[in-house]
Amino acid sequence: MKKKDRWCNKLKRDGKPDLSGGAARNVRIANSGGMDSIVGNAVDFALEQANLNSDSLPDRDLTPQPTGKDERPPLH
């Protein structure tokens, strides 16, 4: 059985036409902050899980901080 990308499922929008396929995926990516944000969040989560599993927690906060330029965290 072929796996289906759930990000391409039909996206119902109030007062706008429904979207599916690549258009629905693009809207979901944009609503999630873009690919840089999605990848950064995945990396942060993976590193946090690895640290928890290794009992080796960093002694400082590694969370990206806003740069002040556009109030978004720096890209990874």
Domain residue ranges in the chain: 6-53
So what's the pLDDT on residue 25? 95
Give pLDDT tens digits along the chain (76 positions). 678 889 999 999 999 999 999 999 999 999 999 999 999 999 989 988 888 888 766 667 766 666 555 555 555 4
The pTM score is: 0.61
So what's the pLDDT on residue 57? 63
So what's the pLDDT on residue 65? 65
Longest CA–CA span in the chain (Å) reads: 50
Between CA 6 and CA 21 the distance in angstroms is 9
Contacts of 2 (CB under 8 A, 6+ apart): none
CA distances to 21, 36, 39, 45, 57 from 7, rounded to whole Å, are: 8, 16, 15, 20, 33
So what's the pLDDT on residue 56? 64
